[in-house]
Amino acid sequence: MTKKNHAQPDNHPKSNQEERETKILNLLCNTSLVLMTMLTEAVSQVFTSITKEMVTALSTGMGSSQDVSASLNDLEKNIPEKLRAELMTMKNDLQKQLNEKKQELTGLLSDPRFDEGIAIAERASVSLPKLTQDLDERALFGYLALLQAEDPAVSAMFKDLFEWMNSLPKFEKKEE
């Protein structure tokens, strides 16, 4: 019985640490993905034509998550399939790279500066899932649309996240 009680306290901090690392990796992946996508000309051209409708849908639906979801479902039909595929391919590639490096990143992720990024993403009042979650394409496109429309809350959050990312310790590759 002593052995069982001893094992429980060891598991709890580890699950908190794993949850923290997952949030950090999701945040890094989602933020990088949105910023990289914003830099592509094709996305800018596509979003110029549908941003107004998406922002209207998001802002009118803020009182009810069902309204936002329904509006995004309708607007999702306007997003070209090629763009969706590219976004999800980039996301999957980035997640794969981060997961492959997770062992190597563990020491780096213990730096308390990463907690600041989690705090920035989780305190933002945005009607979309938090960037610390594993986001689907709808949420990623929602963030892109709000950034394209220069939504003040989302723009401020990404400005803070960009500054935060620049302050992070640099990952040094091991010499082979």
In a domain, 137, yes or no: yes
pLDDT in tens, 117-146: 999 999 998 889 999 999 988 888 888 888
In a domain, 171, yes or no: no
Average pLDDT over residues 55-69: 53
In a domain, 176, yes or no: no
Nearest one of 94, 98, 89, 91 to 21, comparing CA atoms:
98
Average pLDDT over residues 145-170: 88
The total of structural domains in the chain comes to 1
Nearest one of 91, 92, 88 to 79, comparing CA atoms:
88
In a domain, 115, yes or no: yes
Task: Report whether 42 contacts 48 (CB < 8 A).
Answer: no
In a domain, 85, yes or no: yes
Residues 6 or more apart whose Cβ sits within 8 Å of residue 57 = 68, 71, 72, 74, 75
Cα–Cα distances (Å) from 67 to 31, 47, 72, 77, in that order, read 25, 21, 8, 16
pLDDT in tens, 87-125: 888 888 888 888 888 777 777 888 899 999 999 999 998
pLDDT at 110: 85
Interatomic CA distance for residues 142 and 58, integer angstroms: 8
Select the more confidently predicted residue: 38 or 72: 38
Q: Which residues of 48-85 are buried (b: 16+ CB within 10 A; e: fewer)?
A: eebbeebbebbeebeeeeeebeebbeebeeebeeebee
pLDDT over 70 at 76, yes or no: no
In a domain, 172, yes or no: no
Cα–Cα distances (Å) from 10 to 5, 7, 16, 103, 107, in that order, read 9, 5, 11, 19, 19
Structural domain harbouring 120: 14-166
In a domain, 138, yes or no: yes
Does the global pTM surpass 0.85?
A: no
